[in-house]
A and B are shown apart, each in its own frame.
Chain A
């Protein structure tokens, strides 16, 4: 027992028996990474890709090497979510090796990544899985939903504004479709007609009311009586001050009486003016309603707007819409995956110390200029050779400085790619994309050109009356975009279409012939799309020579018919409402003249009686003053004479 205790005590500080288990564990970990890790990483990437893109992502193989710190992903197929039987993009291989020097500093730096054999729209052997829409519980918050609603409403407004099928309406008009017969049916729907009736009723009730009121107002007789009373008041030869006081009181009473009657007339006058103003406002509202009714009728009977902009918007909105949808989709993806500090910058970031909020604590980046950022791909070479597959092309380009911290690298991320896809008929493609996050507000610029691309079976207008589009055409495009702070967008796209084979069919043969003639004369179409605003509330402005060309072509054929249709609508409204309106106006004028002159006459009488009373008062006062003066003088003279007598003069 004691020997065993001694044996136990002699054991050294190192636990030698743990060496073998540690080695076994290390070997097992190494074996896992050698045998299974690549397969698990491949499955993980496919799952993450599916979650991020919303469509099946297939990867043929993944190879990693611990000692080279390298990764090679081969055969990446990303399903097109809109057409699952083809891939939106297929990449032959992506490979890169990380720098061990950076990895030891927990940084991921890649000197050169290579992307090879890029193919677009390649058919899949079997349709890819597309992620179903998100369940309601995972939908955005109430505020986000409301914001989205407002944004969608704004977009809908733009769309509906130009949703009027101008060409369909033109074809209907050319085909002789007449709406005049239906005008009579709309009789009850004319808002202006109802308004005119209401106004007439109101006018009649006012008239009756005022006729009643006029009866209760002071009459000419009343003022004459006051005049007579005033004439009888004594204004001179007063025998005593009492007599003068009595006259003045009488004049004052008559004056007050005349004044109250005058005020009554004034109140009636202002009340009448306000009623008159109300009627005149009603008349103005009626005019507005008539105009609005004419517009509504034009819309109802599809009288086309023959201006170049409306034609261009109507024709090309369906062409631009899918690209617009994609723009918003990619912006949403960018917002979802871009680091939060890039989206909410409000001050200039500091190079030396940048706290980044995490779920646990704050992680600081103690970077210094020219040190490694957390992630940095210095250069990604993109290349592909045409010929291997009809969906591939010649692609050459590079993406430089993809990083999590541009302040440390001091360079923006720049992608320069050019290429041709001979099998698809696309040539002269080049794009330069720059993402600069070095300032408080990020700046993304893009400059893209495609010298030649084919347009096949593009339907622009598809209505009951007309179908219009391209069977085939050859296009070229240039696009410039600028996005500041991931919000302020400025976009300019210029397209040209040549060698166009138009597809024009209309329900009416005459209309089809006219439209075919007009379109066949248009040899080249340009389409300029410009957009500016804060995402997603951006206005898309479309301009094209097609608008003016079609306008010119249609001018002779359609304008006369439009004028006839407009005249008929105007005549109809004239017959239904305008006559009433004129009658109402005349009645208002007559009513105004009648009441106005009556009140004015009475007011003049009242005025004159008031003046008479005032002059009488003045006269009585003067007379009294003169009498008093004479009396005082006489009494003074008598007093002087008495004094003279006393002193014996």
Chain B
């Protein structure tokens, strides 16, 4: 939990810094995918492994997963219907039969209507969302953070000894 909170604070810090937007946008997009996927499935494990082993912002991924889990919950009835439609498509039947009888693939639980519906939506949204998140972060930094840094309040706060101490601390241990 501490690790998770630390990562979320790190995300907020990075969001307001000048660092690259790629790990943040990637984290948010993968979090979206995690939010839509069922907790116990091979694709969740796979995405978690990517999040851990690749340089993706963990806080962004957790925060996004937490947020999109609620969205996915609200989306469940629609996902159920969409999943049923896909799984009952006659043209895809041979593919599903083959996939169902293949090793590993059934561990994705693709044969569940909600999983299939959510997967179809998340696979479509996740790549697009990467670019959207990237653009939103850039705009946030330009429109909100930059303006805030120009305010007198921030300038006064930045001039305090406390802030200087914090910057030193962050430089060495942050």
Contact = CB atoms under 8 A, between A and B. Distances in A.
A352 B76 CA distance: 26
B97 A352 contact: yes
B101 A12 contact: no
A366 B103 contact: no
Interface in A527-548: none
Contacts of A105: 100-106
A12 B99 CA distance: 36
B162 to A, nearest CB: 20
A324 interface: no
A363 interface: yes
B112 A352 contact: no
Given A105-B102, A361-B80, A13 B111 contact: no
B21 interface: no
Given A105-B101, A366-B100, A13 B54 contact: yes
Contact of A363 (B88, B96, B97, B111): B111
A15 B87 contact: no
Contact of B111 (A19, A22, A107, A365): A365
B54 A14 contact: yes
Nearest to A368: B97
Interface in A250-286: none
A372 B76 contact: no
B113 interface: yes
A11 interface: yes
Contacts of A332: none
Interface size class of A (residues with CB under 8 A): 20 to 34
Nearest to B84: A362
A359 to B, nearest CB: 10
Nearest to A104: B103
A362 B100 contact: no
Residue from A1, A4, A362 whose CB has the most chain B CB atoms within 10 Å: A362
Contact of A366 (B55, B84, B111): B111
B63 interface: no
A18 B53 contact: yes
B106 A106 contact: yes
B101 A368 contact: yes
Interface size class of B (residues with CB under 8 A): 20 to 34
B52 interface: yes
A215 interface: no
Contacts of A371: 100-101
Nearest to A8: B19
A606 B76 CA distance: 95
B119 to A, nearest CB: 12
A358 B97 CA distance: 20
Nearest to A22: B52
A49 interface: no
Interface string B118-161: 00000000000000000000000000000000000000000000
B76 to A, nearest CB: 7
A380 B86 CA distance: 39
Contacts of A307: none
A106 B107 CA distance: 6
Nearest to A1: B171
Interface of A: 1, 4, 11-15, 18-19, 22, 101, 104-107, 352-353, 358, 360-368, 371-372
Q: Which 6 A-B pairs have the closest CB atoms?
A: A361-B114, A366-B100, A104-B103, A361-B113, A106-B106, A366-B97
Given A352-B93, A361-B79, A367-B97, 7 more contacts: A15-B53, A18-B53, A22-B53, A358-B112, A360-B76, A361-B76, A371-B101
22 contacts: A15-B52, A18-B52, A18-B53, A105-B106, A352-B93, A352-B97, A353-B93, A360-B114, A361-B80, A361-B83, A361-B112, A361-B113, A362-B83, A362-B84, A362-B87, A363-B109, A366-B99, A366-B101, A366-B111, A367-B100, A371-B100, A372-B101
